[in-house]
Amino acid sequence: MINHAITRLPGENFADGVTTANLGRPSYSLILQQHHAYRQALLSLGLDVIVLPAEPAYPDAYFVEDPAIITPKIAVSTCPGASSRQGEEITLEPFLEYYRPLVHIHPPGTVDGGDVLVVENHYFIGLSERTNNEGAAQLATLLAEAGHTPETVPVAAGLHLKSGVNYVGNDTLLITKNLADYPAFAKYKRIILDVDEEYAANTLWVNDTLLTPKGFPKTHASLAHLGMRLIELDVSEVQKMDGGLTCMSLRF
């Protein structure tokens, strides 16, 4: 059972964040509405939702998933891979420390939480442009010391591991074609996304409900077979900044 979510409001300058999306300039008023709807969805699932103020010096800081990882045993302050995002953790750490013993990834190691996929007690760590070998090795040690099982996997395409694969309960991964044949994922049932719906890989499973991005009807139909409650959320403005549903909260 997930009880808490930490979120952060997008700031007025959120459009200055890092992006490769090329989907046009995002709207501040619209992202605030979308963020509000996201928080409401988490509240409706029984979570207590912490809302931190925007961080004007860090336009990507509302993607709180990246500078931290919270497990049932520890919180990790990660040293994010984009230099413009290093420092986001400063105002997050007091909250991490309140809930869990806090440990750190140290430079030159970098890790983005978006590269860490949790399936029960197993932690897949994606090696990506943001998470380097040194960061992944440090994280693997910290996770193993806390009693979790870590495993690194390469991320050949996309920003983060969770841009291409997420756990949706019932031993099932929602996964892109690219990642579907990885030996690491072979023991799971896999729902393979259509190439034109790969953005929907970033679907969030919380308390037996799936939050999924609006506008991906084939994925929606496949997920409906799982028999879980499905909530569709419009995250158009978040997608313009290379983010998605998992990125906007830390859940524990």
193 three-class SS? coil
Q: For binding to ligand CIR (CB under 6 A), which residues are involved?
A: 17-19, 60, 63, 65-66, 82, 85, 114, 159-160, 163, 241-244, 247
Shortest reach from residue 21's CB to ligand CIR, in Å: 9
CA–CA separation, 22 and 223 (whole Å):
28
| 4 classed as catalytic | no
CB nearer to ligand CIR: give 114 or 150. 114
For residue 28, the minimal CB distance to ligand CIR (Å) is: 15
Considering the complex, state which of residue 125 and residue 221 has its C-beta at the smaller distance from ligand CIR: 125
**Cβ distance 189 to 173 under 8 Å?**
yes
b/e string for 231-247 if b means 16 or more Cβ within 10 A?
Answer: bbbebbbbbbbbbbbbb
Q: Which is nearer to ligand CIR, 46 or 154 (CB)?
A: 154
Cα gap 141→114, rounded to integer Å: 18
List of residues 6+ apart from 187 with CB closer than 8 A: none
Write down the catalytic residue from 148, 160, 220, 225.
160
Reply yes or no on whether 79 is catalytic: no
Q: How far is the CB of 65 from ligand CIR (least distance, A)?
A: 4
Active site residues: 160, 247
